[in-house]
Chain A
Amino acid sequence: MIYFLQTNINTTDASSYLPVALQVAFAVGLVIFLTVVTHLLGPKRKTSDKLQNFASGIESHGDARQPMAIKYFLTAILFVLFDVEVIFFYPYAVNFKGLGWDGFWAVLMFVGFFLCGFTYILKKGALKWED
């Protein structure tokens, strides 16, 4: 166990993201390569029936892109709000030990407001899926 602690390097400048960019380049290159290779290797015998959309054997009717239930939008909107709130906790978590109880009360108040909103959402049935 002790052995693993001897070797820690600390870098916090922007150059530490260079390998990430390299990995992105690798991944993009590989995906493009594979797509092109399969495009060249595969057979190409297209018929109009084959290029139809699949609808369990029956002919497809109309455009698939039709308006959807509002619940999905509501979920997405609430996700955006909650996500931003969760983001606020990260800087707190990193400074948790230094901030002590002062920080804890501040966050508790924040969470309190958050829970108020959350109970309001639940009471209003915004997250109710079965109706």
Chain B
Amino acid sequence: MTLLVIDWWLILEKALLIGGIIGLSFFIAMYTTLAERKVAAWLQDRRGPNRAGPFGIFQPLADGGKLFFKEEIIPLASNKFLFILGPALAMITALITSTVIPWAAPFITKGGNVIPMQVADVDMGILLVFSIVSVGVYGIMIGGWASNNKFSLMAAVRGASQMVSYELPMGLCLIAVLFMTGSLKMSEIVANQVQNGWHIIYQPLGFLIFFICALAECNRTPFDLPEAENELNFGYHQEYSSMKLGFYLFAEYINMFISSAVMVTLYFGGYDIPFVNEASWGLSSFWMSLISFSVLMAKISFFLFLFLWIRWTIPRFRYDQLMNLGWKKLIPLALVNMIITAAVLLLLNK
């Protein structure tokens, strides 16, 4: 067997990890929809969904199950193949952005094998995430165009312009972080923070810009222009039904989850536990991985809550305000942030 060049145990290990992460993405996405409705209800002094199971915890299952049993409608005027390709692309790109995120401290088996809790620790690291995000625009564009509906097309063009515009300041903020780490690898970005403190201490402005861009990239309020109901009905996915609509909606929530994970990894130490020295606890490797994973999830949950909180608090921008903010304020600000970071770091090094 010439194929034995591949380490089949590695493939099995990675397959399990990938399955776990994709399952986790779906689980979190489903329960973020419930959390969204609960938070909205709480902020508006209502009760929110509470009929399906205790406190409505089975509501997402009912919602998800419903998507399977709805009629698929593909309008006659639309382009059938592209109509199906659009949501599929949106979902696929959402599912593969999680590939380089370190989810927990590496697990060491009794035999001394190190199993990293990260699907791929590639040298390009965070830039791989950016490349997948930059391809994610096609999901919206193709879906909106294929529908052959004026509202959908308008929303798709708006959404695509918005997403590409906010990629720029995001990249510039990232560069300021990379000055400190000197590597694009996610594992080294986390290791650097474990050693020298979280990047949020050194890059508060960078983080703020990054967070605003993350809101815009996920099409979340106050930047949910692609689905502005009062001008565009339901936005780029208004002709969709059944699971294809579900793909678009789920992709949005998975993107929220993954962008929270990326922000935590870049600025909030990833799975690092602050202020303590875990090595002195003397716990086994299994518990270490579990605890660090819980810490990461706690940080991610905070950001997810922030996303929801903002949605139900801040009204939507106008389109010209959105573009002005992105191009005329965030790009110069991020550029200045990058140059100042570089200069300060070089001065301190002397």
Answer whether A and B touch in the complex at a CB cut-off of 8 Å: yes
**Who on chain B is nearest to A69 by CB?**
B157
Of B36-44, B216-224, B240-248, the stretch lying at the interface with chain A is B240-248
Provide the residues of chain B in CB contact with A129, threshold 8 Å: 319-320, 323-324
CA distance A44 to B71 in the complex (A): 6
Of listed B91, B183, B343, residue having the most chain A CB within 10 A: B91
Q: Beyond A79-B168, A127-B327, is A20–B128 a contact (Cβ under 8 Å)? A: yes
Q: Which of A19, A93, A94 makes the CB contact (< 8 A) with B14?
A: A19
Provide the residues of chain A in CB contact with B182, threshold 8 Å: 93-97
Distance (Å) between the CB of B189 and the closest chain A CB? 12
Provide the residues of chain A in CB contact with B292, threshold 8 Å: 4
CA distance A42 to B116 in the complex (A): 41
**Who on chain B is nearest to A52 by CB?**
B75
Of B46-54, B204-212, B268-276, B308-316, the stretch lying at the interface with chain A is B268-276
Interface membership of A116, Cβ < 8 A: no
The answer to whether A30 touches B184 (Cβ under 8 A) is no
Provide the residues of chain A in CB contact with B152, threshold 8 Å: 64
CA distance A127 to B331 in the complex (A): 13
Number of A-B contacts (CB under 8 A): 239
The answer to whether A4 touches B96 (Cβ under 8 A) is no
CA distance A6 to B232 in the complex (A): 53
Q: How many residues of B contact A (CB 8 A)?
A: 99
Provide the residues of chain B in CB contact with A65, threshold 8 Å: 145, 148, 153
CA distance A5 to B121 in the complex (A): 15
Provide the residues of chain A in CB contact with B349, threshold 8 Å: 97, 100
The answer to whether A16 touches B121 (Cβ under 8 A) is yes
Interface membership of B84, Cβ < 8 A: yes
Contact pattern, A 54-90, Cβ under 8 Å of B = 1, otherwise 0: 1110001001110010001001100100110010011
Interface size class of A (residues with CB under 8 A): 35 or more
Q: Beyond A7-B108, A42-B72, A64-B152, is A23–B92 a contact (Cβ under 8 Å)? A: no
Q: Which of B75, B96, B157 makes the CB contact (< 8 A) with A51?
A: B75
The answer to whether B149 touches A89 (Cβ under 8 A) is no
Distance (Å) between the CB of A91 and the closest chain B CB? 10
Contact pattern, B 138-155, Cβ under 8 Å of A = 1, otherwise 0: 000000010111111100
CA distance A83 to B163 in the complex (A): 13
Q: Beyond A53-B149, A75-B323, is A30–B95 a contact (Cβ under 8 Å)? A: yes
Of B62-70, B259-267, B297-305, the stretch lying at the interface with chain A is B62-70
Interface membership of A124, Cβ < 8 A: no
The answer to whether A82 touches B121 (Cβ under 8 A) is no
Provide the residues of chain B in CB contact with A37, threshold 8 Å: 68, 243
The answer to whether B175 touches A93 (Cβ under 8 A) is yes
The answer to whether A20 touches B242 (Cβ under 8 A) is no
Distance (Å) between the CB of B125 and the closest chain A CB? 10
Q: Beyond A9-B116, A51-B75, is A35–B277 a contact (Cβ under 8 Å)? A: no
Interface membership of B238, Cβ < 8 A: yes
The answer to whether A4 touches B114 (Cβ under 8 A) is no
Distance (Å) between the CB of A12 and the closest chain B CB? 5
- Residues of A whose CB lies within 8 Å of any CB of B are 1-5, 7-9, 11-12, 16-20, 22-24, 26-28, 30-32, 34-35, 37-39, 41-46, 48, 50-56, 60, 63-65, 68, 72, 75-76, 79, 82-83, 86, 89-90, 92-97, 100-101, 104, 107-108, 111, 114-115, 118, 122, 127, 129-130
Q: Which 9 A-B pairs have the closest CB atoms?
A: A129-B320, A93-B178, A38-B243, A27-B95, A3-B279, A19-B120, A7-B106, A64-B150, A19-B14
Taking A72-B161, A94-B182 as given, write out 12 further A-B residue pairs in contact, using a Cβ cutoff of 8 Å, ordered by the A residue number: A7-B116, A9-B116, A30-B95, A51-B75, A53-B75, A64-B152, A75-B161, A79-B164, A79-B167, A86-B172, A100-B346, A127-B328
User: Can you list 27 A-B pairs with a CB-CB distance of less than 8 A?
Assistant: A1-B194, A2-B279, A4-B272, A8-B191, A9-B116, A23-B22, A26-B15, A26-B22, A27-B91, A30-B95, A37-B68, A38-B67, A42-B70, A52-B75, A52-B77, A56-B233, A60-B77, A63-B148, A64-B148, A76-B164, A79-B167, A83-B164, A86-B171, A93-B182, A100-B349, A111-B335, A129-B323
